[in-house]
C-alpha cells in the first residue's frame, strides 16, 4: 500500500481544515495556499506549510491554476486535493495536474469534462438505462428551438445551463408567455457565471425530494455506495439542511436506487469519491439529476453514520490502493443531520454578512461535530462564498437527532456578523420537518416571509443593560476600529 | 435609570434599578416587570435569572451598539441616546440628495450611470458584489446623478455614499 507524503490543498475555509485534519491523522504533510485576506485563516494556521498565492480575487488566487501548480512543484507536493467549488470540477486543472505529474485527488480530467457538461452526462446515463428527467439531451443557444422543445416536453419546464451549477442560469417557466424572457436572462447569467450560455430543458417536477448516493470507485474496478443523503431543504437552489437516511427511503427503493447509482458511476468511468443525485417524485419514481464529481459539502453526515472517513478514502484511491472493504462490510447506523451555517442575514433577505467575528462559542456534547473555518477574531472576507461552518449531529433516531440539532443550534454563539442560525432553528422546529415532509419546495412553501422570533427581545434588552452597568464605561469595542475614537467612546458611562 | 433601546427599527423604554452589591436588577419594559439576578460567569457571558427563568446570554461590543445572543437568536441592540446622528446634508427644500450606499461591505462591479444623467426611481445605479452575490442598488427617486464618489473595483461599506442623486422636484402648480 502506498501513500502520499505531501499533499497540497487547493481550497480554503472549513473544507480545507477538514482535509488537513485527515492528512494529519494519516501522517501526511499538508500544504495550504491562501490569498491576501486569508493570511490568518483557519486552514493556514492548521497546515504544516502555507504559501501565499496572491490577491483575494479568486482568479488571482484560488482559481489560479498556474500559480497553484507552481506552488505544488516548489513545495514537492505529490498530490492536490481540490476540495469542493473552486477548481474541484475543472477539467483543465485536472489535466494540468496530470501533465505536471501531480496526482489530482478526484476523477480523471476526461470524466470531469463529460460529467461537467450536463447534456453529455444525460446522454451517458440514457445509454446506460439510467432513468433521466424527461428533457433535452443537446444544449443550444437557439431560443426559438428551446420554445418549441418546451411545447414538446410540456409546461412547466426548467431552463438550465449546460455548464451550470449552484442554481445559476436556471429558471422555472410555467407559461409559454414567459419562456423567451426566461431563456434570455438565464443565458446571460450562465454566460457570465460559466463562460457558456447554452441551455437545455428538463420537465419541472413538483416538489420532488433531492436524494443522492455517496459513491466510491477505485482504480481496480471496485464500486461501492455509502448509502443516501436527502438534501431537499434548499434556498435558491442552495442546500441548507441535509440528512441521512432519507425519511422517504424504504429498503426496496434503496435497493433500486443503489443499483442505478452504481450503473451511473460505471457508465461514466468514474474514479474516486463522487455523488449521484436523483430527484424522487411524489409517486416514488426517481430520475437521474447529475453526478457531483467531487467531495461534497454534506459528506460528514455519511461519515457519522457509516464510520468511514471519506477524505481518507479519496487519498487511498488516488494513491492507487484498492478499497479495503466490500459493499457487504458497509453499514449504516442511526441518523445524522447537517445544518450549513452561512454568513447571511435571514432578516435582510439573506444578504451576505461579511465582517469580524467578535464572539464565538461552538456547541458541544455527545454526537456533535462542527466543521468550522472560522474562529473568534477572524475577519470573514467578502470575496468568497458565505459558508462559515457545517454543524453535524448524530443520534439513534431521526427525532433524537432533530432535538440534538436544536440544542446545538441554540448554543452556537456567533456574534459580530449575521448568520442563518435563527432561521435553521425555526425550520427544524416546524411541524412539517418533524413529520419528514421534506421536498425542494419546502422553504418557499413554509418560510417565505420569515422573521426572527421576538420572544427573547426583552432578555436581549436586559442583557444590554447588565453589560453596560458591569463594564463601568469600558467603552472601546473589541473589534479594532480604524481612526481616532470619538467622544462618545471615550466619555465613559454617564446618564441624565 | 432609563434607557431607550433600539432593536431593528423599534425603540423601547427600559426602566431599570439595580444593586451592584447583590447583582440584582429590576426592569420594567413596556409594562412587563422583570426581577433579575445576574452573574458574569466568563468573558462576555452572563447567567441570568429572569423571574425565575434561567438564561445564558452573550454580549459583544459592536459599532455603535452591542450584539447580544440569547437562545439561538442574535440581536443588535443600540442605545438610542448614544447614536451618532448623521448629518443630513440637506441644503434646502429644493435640493434633497438621494444617497446610494451599499447594504453590506462589498466591491463595486459596475457603475451604470454618468454624472448629469437623469434617472427614474427604481433604475439601476451601481452593481456591487459580496460573497459571490451581486446586488443592484437603485435610485430611490426620480432625479439627476449629481456626483459619483466611487470607481469600479472599489471596496465599499455601508455608510459610504457611492452616488448622489438630486431629487427631481415636480412642479404641481
Is there a single domain that holds both residue B9 and residue B76?
yes
Of all residues in chain A, what percent carry a pLDDT higher than 90? 85
Predicted confidence at residue B89, as pLDDT, reads 45
> Are B76 and B20 within one domain?
yes
Q: Are B12 and B69 contained in the same domain? A: yes
Which CATH number goes with the domain that contains B15?
A: 3.30.700.30
Asked whether residue B129 is assigned to any structural domain, the reply reads: yes
Looking at chain B from residue 94 to 133, which residues have their Cβ under 8 Å from any Cβ of chain A? 103-107, 130-133
CA dist., res. A410 & res. A307, Å (int): 27
A233-253 pLDDT per residue, tens: 999 889 999 999 999 999 999
Tell me the residue range of the domain where B129 lies: 97-167
Inside any domain, residue B35? yes
In a domain, B91, yes or no: no
Give the residue from A292, A301, A297 showing the smallest Cα distance to A227: A301
Nearest to A470 among B40, B75, B106 (CB): B40
Task: With beta carbons less than 8 A apart as the criterion, state whether A89 and A294 touch.
Answer: yes
Distances (CA, A) of A359 to A14, A39, A338, A366, B47: 18, 20, 23, 23, 16
Whether the CB of B157 is below 8 Å from some CB of chain A: the reply is no
DSSP secondary structure of A122-188:
HHHHHHTT--B-SB-SS-BS-HHHHHHHHHHH-SSEEEEETT--TTTT-EEE-SGGGHHHHHHHHHH
Class of domain A209-446: alpha beta
Q: Count CB-CB contacts under 10 A for residue A390.
A: 23
Among 3.20.20.370, 3.40.50.20, 3.90.1150.30, 3.40.462.40, name the CATH number for the domain at A6-105. 3.40.50.20
Asked whether residue B74 falls in the same domain as residue B104, the answer is no
Pairs of CB atoms within 8 A across A/B: 169
Contact: A495, B25; criterion CB under 8 Å: no
All CATH 3.30.1490.20 domain ranges of chain A, comma separated, are 134-203
Q: How far is Cα A272 from Cα A375, in angstroms, rounded to an integer?
A: 32
Give B164 to chain A, closest Cα distance, Å: 23
CATH of the domain at B152: 2.40.50.100
Q: Quick check: B5 contacting A, CB < 8 Å?
A: yes
pLDDT in tens, A31-62: 999 999 999 999 999 999 999 999 999 999 99
**Same-domain check for residues B33 and B68:** yes
Domain end point (choices B59, B82, B105): B82
Instruction: Classify residue B89: in a domain, yes or no.
Output: no
For residue B173, tell me if it sits in a domain.
no
| A113 contacts A270 by C-beta, under 8 angstroms | no
Tell me which residue in B32, B66, B74 faces A467 most closely, judged by beta carbons.
B66
Cα A144 from chain centroid? 35
Question: In chain B, which residue's Cα lies nearest the Cα of A453?
Answer: B73
Report yes or no: B12 at the A interface, CB cutoff 8 Å.
yes
Q: Are residues B111 and B146 in the same domain?
A: yes
Same domain, B129 and B78: no
Per-residue pLDDT tens digits for A67-122: 999 999 999 999 999 999 999 999 999 999 999 999 999 999 999 999 999 899 99
- Which residue intervals of chain A bear CATH 3.40.50.20? 6-105
Least confident of A277-281, B18-22, B73-77: B18-22
Looking at chain B, which residue has its C-alpha nearest residue A362?
Answer: B72
**Do B17 and B76 lie in a common domain?**
yes
- CATH 3.30.470.20 domain locations along chain A: 209-446
Residue A475: pLDDT band by 50, 70, 90 thresholds?
very low
In a domain, B30, yes or no: yes
- Domain membership flag for residue B120: yes
The shortest CB-CB distance from B130 to any of A352, A410, A486 is to A352
Give the residue numbers of A marked as catalytic. Answer: 294
Same domain, B129 and B63: no
Neighbours of A391 (CB within 10 A): 24
Question: For chain B, what is the domain count?
Answer: 2
**Banded model confidence at residue B90, pLDDT cuts 50, 70, 90:** very low
d(CA A69, CA A135): 39
Q: Chain B: give the shortest CA distance to residue A25, in Å.
A: 32
pLDDT tens digits, one per residue of A254-263: 999 999 999 9
Residue given cell 448622489 in the structure block: B164
Please answer yes or no on whether A469 and B18 come within 8 Å at the CB atom.
yes
Q: Of B49, B82, B115, at which residue does a domain stop?
A: B82
Same domain for B146 and B101, yes or no, is yes
pTM flag (> 0.90): no
Dist CA A460 CA B57 (whole Å): 8
B36 touches chain A (CB under 8 A): yes
Assess whether B127 and B102 both reside in one domain: yes
Q: How confident is the model at residue B99 (pLDDT cuts 50, 70, 90)?
A: confident
Instruction: Sort A84 into a burial class: Cβ within 10 Å, 0-12 / 13-18 / 19+.
Output: middle
Same domain, B73 and B108: no
Write the residue in B69, B77, B104 that is nearest to A354 by C-beta.
B104
Complex-level ipTM? 0.82
Pick the CATH number of A134-203 from 3.30.1490.20, 2.60.40.10, 3.40.190.10, 3.40.50.720: 3.30.1490.20
Amino acid at each position: 500500500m502506498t501513500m502520499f507524503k505531501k499533499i497540497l490543498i487547493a481550497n480554503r475555509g472549513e473544507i480545507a481544515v477538514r482535509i488537513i485534519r485527515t492528512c494529519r491523522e494519516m501522517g501526511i504533510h499538508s500544504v495550504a495556499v491562501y490569498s491576501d485576506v486569508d493570511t490568518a485563516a483557519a486552514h493556514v494556521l492548521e497546515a504544516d506549510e502555507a504559501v501565499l498565492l496572491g490577491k483575494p480575487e479568486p482568479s488571482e488566487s484560488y482559481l489560479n491554476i498556474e500559480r497553484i501548480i507552481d506552488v505544488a512543484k516548489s513545495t514537492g507536493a505529490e498530490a492536490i486535493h481540490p476540495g469542493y467549488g473552486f477548481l474541484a470540477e475543472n477539467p483543465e486543472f485536472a489535466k494540468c495536474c496530470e501533465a505536471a505529474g501531480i496526482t489530482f485527488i478526484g476523477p480523471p480530467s476526461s470524466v470531469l469534462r463529460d460529467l461537467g457538461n450536463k447534456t453529455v452526462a444525460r446522454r451517458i446515463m440514457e445509454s446506460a438505462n439510467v432513468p433521466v428527467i424527461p428533457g433535452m439531451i443537446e444544449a443550444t443557444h437557439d431560443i426559438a428551438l428551446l420554445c418549441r422543445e418546451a411545447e414538446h416536453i410540456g409546461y412547466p419546464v426548467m431552463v438550465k445551463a449546460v455548464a451550470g451549477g449552484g442554481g445559476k442560469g436556471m429558471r422555472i417557466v410555467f407559461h409559454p408567455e414567459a419562456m423567451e424572457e426566461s431563456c434570455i436572462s438565464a443565458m446571460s447569467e450562465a454566460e457570465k457565471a460559466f463562460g457558456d450560455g447554452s441551455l437545455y430543458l428538463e420537465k419541472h417536477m413538483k416538489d420532488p425530494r433531492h436524494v443522492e448516493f455517496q459513491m466510491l470507485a477505485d482504480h481496480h474496478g471496485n464500486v461501492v455506495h455509502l448509502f443516501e443523503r436527502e438534501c431537499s431543504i434548499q434556498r435558491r437552489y442552495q442546500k441548507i439542511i441535509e440528512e441521512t437516511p432519507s425519511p422517504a427511503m424504504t429498503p426496496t427503493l434503496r435497493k433500486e436506487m443503489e443499483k442505478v447509482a452504481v450503473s451511473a458511476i460505471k457508465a461514466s468511468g468514474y474514479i474516486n469519491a463522487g455523488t449521484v443525485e436523483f430527484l424522487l417524485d411524489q409517486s416514488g419514481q426517481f430520475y437521474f439529476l447529475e453526478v457531483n464529481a467531487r467531495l461534497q459539502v454534506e459528506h460528514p453526515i455519511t461519515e457519522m453514520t457509516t464510520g468511514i472517513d471519506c477524505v481518507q478514502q479519496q487519498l487511498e484511491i488516488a494513491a492507487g490502493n484498492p478499497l479495503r472493504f466490500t459493499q457487504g462490510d458497509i453499514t449504516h447506523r442511526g441518523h445524522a443531520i447537517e445544518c450549513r451555517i452561512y454568513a447571511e442575514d435571514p432578516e435582510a433577505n439573506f444578504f451576505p454578512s461579511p465582517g469580524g467575528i467578535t464572539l464565538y462559542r461552538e456547541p458541544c456534547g455527545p454526537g456533535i461535530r462542527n466543521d468550522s473555518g472560522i474562529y473568534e477574531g477572524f475577519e470573514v472576507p467578502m470575496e468568497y462564498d458565505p459558508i462559515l461552518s457545517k454543524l453535524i449531529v448524530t443520534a439513534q433516531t431521526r427525532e433524537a437527532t432533530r432535538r440534538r440539532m436544536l440544542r446545538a443550534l441554540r448554543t452556537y454563539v456567533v456574534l459580530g456578523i449575521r448568520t442563518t442560525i435563527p432561521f435553521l432553528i425555526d425550520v427544524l422546529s416546524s411541524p412539517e420537518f418533524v413529520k419528514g415532509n421534506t421536498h425542494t419546495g419546502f422553504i418557499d412553501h413554509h418560510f417565505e416571509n420569515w422573521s426572527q422570533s421576538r420572544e427573547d427581545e426583552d432578555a436581549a434588552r436586559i442583557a444590554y443593560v447588565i453589560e453596560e452597568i458591569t463594564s463601568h464605561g469600558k467603552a472601546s469595542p473589541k473589534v479594532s476600529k480604524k481612526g481616532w475614537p470619538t467622544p462618545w467612546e471615550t466619555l465613559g458611562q454617564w446618564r441624565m | 435609570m432609563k434607557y431607550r433601546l433600539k432593536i431593528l427599527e423599534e425603540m423601547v423604554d427600559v426602566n431599570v434599578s439595580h444593586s451592584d452589591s447583590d447583582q440584582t436588577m429590576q426592569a420594567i419594559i413596556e409594562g412587563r416587570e422583570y426581577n433579575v439576578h445576574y452573574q458574569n460567569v466568563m468573558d462576555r457571558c452572563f447567567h441570568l435569572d429572569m423571574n425565575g427563568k434561567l438564561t445564558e446570554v452573550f454580549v459583544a461590543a459592536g459599532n455603535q451598539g452591542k450584539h447580544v445572543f440569547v437562545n439561538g437568536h442574535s440581536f443588535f441592540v443600540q442605545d438610542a441616546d448614544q447614536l451618532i446622528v448623521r448629518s443630513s446634508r440637506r441644503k434646502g427644500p429644493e435640493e434633497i440628495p438621494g444617497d446610494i450606499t451599499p447594504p453590506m461591505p462589498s466591491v463595486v462591479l459596475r457603475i451604470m450611470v454618468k454624472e448629469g444623467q437623469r434617472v427614474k426611481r427604481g433604475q439601476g445605479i451601481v452593481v456591487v458584489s459580496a460573497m459571490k452575490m451581486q446586488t443592484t442598488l437603485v435610485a430611490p427617486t426620480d432625479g439627476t446623478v449629481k456626483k459619483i464618489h466611487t470607481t469600479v473595483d472599489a471596496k465599499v461599506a455601508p455608510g459610504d455614499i457611492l452616488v448622489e442623486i438630486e431629487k427631481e422636484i415636480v412642479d404641481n402648480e
